[in-house]
Structure 1
Amino acid sequence: MFRFVRTATVRYGASYPAALKFAGEVTAYVNKHYEMGMRCGVEMYGAPRIHWHFDIDSLDRMQQFNAKLMADRDYFGLLDKYKETWVDGSLQDMLVALQP
């Protein structure tokens, strides 16, 4: 079992409401279209970061999901709509192997 975690840092304090809106929209979109059980949250201390995560049973399934997502024009439209919300280069992805 693996956990995928993505974080992104909000560019300005005034962008925080848009970042929260995006976090909810992209989470709902992924869950509706791909049934990933994605969740999102807000970092409580430090930089204003949004976190997304989901668990997946295999690396093969992760690769299949990623291939579908990379071909999804609606998903990329959603990303493009909020592109000015994030600090450039702040997107971080992590894949964690969960222990039984």
Structure 2
Amino acid sequence: MIVFVRTAGIAPGKNASMLAFSKEIVAYIKEVYKFDVEVLLPIGGNPQRIGWTTRHKDLAEYDSINLRLIGDPKYWEIVNKYVDSFQPGSAHDEIWRTL
């Protein structure tokens, strides 16, 4: 199993907007791509962060979905609508495998 984790900093005063973005993007991905995205908020450390995780059976599945998302104009429309909610340069991606 592959776990994709993306974290990003929330711009000052944009917590509500970031939660609206998360709700919209999660619903879109579930409807169109038929997989779940979990939204994460930190318990400790910097509270101005948010995270999203997805799970895939293998790297091939992850790569296939990622390539589809990159080429999806509606996905980018949603992201760009909320771009001011993110701290510039704060996005961080990781790919993990489960044991």
TM (norm. structure 1) is 0.93
Equivalent positions of 1:45-84 (< 5 A) are 45-47=44-46, 48-84=48-84
Measure, in 1, the Cα distance between the counterparts of 2:56 and 2:37: 10
Q: Which residue of 2 aligns with 1:20?
A: 19
Q: Which residue of 1 aligns with 2:29?
A: 30
What is the Cα-based RMSD across aligned positions, in Å? 0.9
> What are the Cα deviations for residues 20-39 of structure 1, in whole angstroms up to 9, with x where unaligned?
11111111111111112111
Shift of 1:2: 0.8
Shift of 1:15: 0.7
Shift of 1:42: 1.2
Moved over 6 A (4+): none
Partner-residue secondary structure (3-state), 1:44: coil
Identity across the alignment (%) = 27
Structure 2: state its 5+ residue gaps.
none
Corresponding residue pairs, total? 98
Q: Is the 8 A contact 1:4 1:95 kept in 2?
A: yes
TM (norm. structure 2) is 0.94
Q: Which residue of 2 aligns with 1:39?
A: 38
